C-alpha cells in the first residue's frame, strides 16, 4: 500500500493541487516519473515478474496520467509518464550487489538477503537479454537532461498526449 499511496494517490493529490497554476501557465505540461518495469510488453516478453508491487503501482500511475490527459486535453495540457532510465542516485551500495537499483534499503543501510540476491541475478539476466548494450546506470545529471529534452520536445500536436516514454523519448528503457 505504501507504494500505491506514494506513486498513485500522492501524484493525484499533486496534480490536483497544481492544476490551477498549470492552466494559467504558458507551458501546459505535466510529467510524472514512471519506470520501464511498468511496460506490459517488456514484462511478458522477458518474463519479468520481479518487483511486482512497484511495477503495478507505476502502471497504475501511467493510467492516472492518461485519465488526467483525457480530462485536461481540451485545455491544451499535455501529461506524460516518463521513465528516467536506470539512474545512479548514489543511495545504493553497488559493492553489496551489482544490480543495486533493485535492492531494498533502510536509512543508509542496504538490506539484501541471499534470496533477494538470487532474484536480482535472475532479473539482471533478463535485463541483459533485453539490452545487451547496457553498461550500468546513468548519472542523475544525464537522466535529468534527457528527461527535460523529452518534455521540451513533446507536444499534443506531435501526438504525445498521455504518452509513456523513456528518457530517450521512446520505449527503450535501458
Tens of pLDDT, residues 116-172: 778 778 888 898 899 999 888 889 999 999 999 999 999 999 999 999 999 999 999
Q: What is the pLDDT of residue 98?
A: 46
Domain boundaries, the chain: 2-85+137-166, 88-135
Output the pTM of the full model.
Answer: 0.84
pLDDT digits (tens, 9 = 90+) for 66-110: 999 999 999 999 999 999 998 987 755 544 444 444 444 333 445
DSSP string, 30-49: EEEE--GGG-HHHHHHHT--
Instruction: Report the catalytic residues.
Output: 54, 58
CATH class of 2-85+137-166: alpha beta
Q: Which three cell numbers stand for residue 81?
A: 509518464
pLDDT digits (tens, 9 = 90+) for 16-50: 999 999 999 999 999 999 999 999 999 999 999 98
Beta strands 104-106; 109-111: pairing state: antiparallel
Amino acid at each position: 500500500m505504501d507504494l500505491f499511496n506514494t506513486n498513485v494517490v500522492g501524484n493525484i493529490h499533486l496534480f490536483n493541487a497544481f492544476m490551477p497554476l498549470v492552466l494559467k501557465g504558458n507551458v501546459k505540461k505535466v510529467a510524472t516519473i514512471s519506470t520501464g518495469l511498468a511496460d506490459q510488453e517488456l514484462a511478458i516478453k522477458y518474463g519479468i515478474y520481479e518487483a511486482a508491487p512497484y511495477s503495478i503501482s507505476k502502471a497504475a500511475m501511467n493510467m492516472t496520467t492518461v485519465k488526467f490527459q483525457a480530462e485536461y486535453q481540451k485545455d491544451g495540457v499535455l501529461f506524460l509518464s516518463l521513465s528516467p532510465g536506470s539512474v545512479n542516485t548514489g543511495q545504493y551500495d553497488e559493492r553489496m550487489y551489482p544490480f543495486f537499483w533493485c535492492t531494498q534499503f533502510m536509512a543508509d543501510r542496504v538490506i539484501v538477503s541471499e534470496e533477494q540476491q538470487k532474484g536480482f541475478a535472475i532479473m539482471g539476466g533478463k535485463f541483459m537479454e533485453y539490452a545487451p548494450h547496457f553498461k550500468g546506470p546513468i548519472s542523475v545529471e544525464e537522466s535529468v537532461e534527457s528527461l527535460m529534452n523529452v518534455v521540451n520536445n513533446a507536444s499534443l500536436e506531435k501526438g504525445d498526449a498521455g504518452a509513456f516514454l523513456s528518457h530517450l523519448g521512446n520505449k527503450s528503457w535501458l
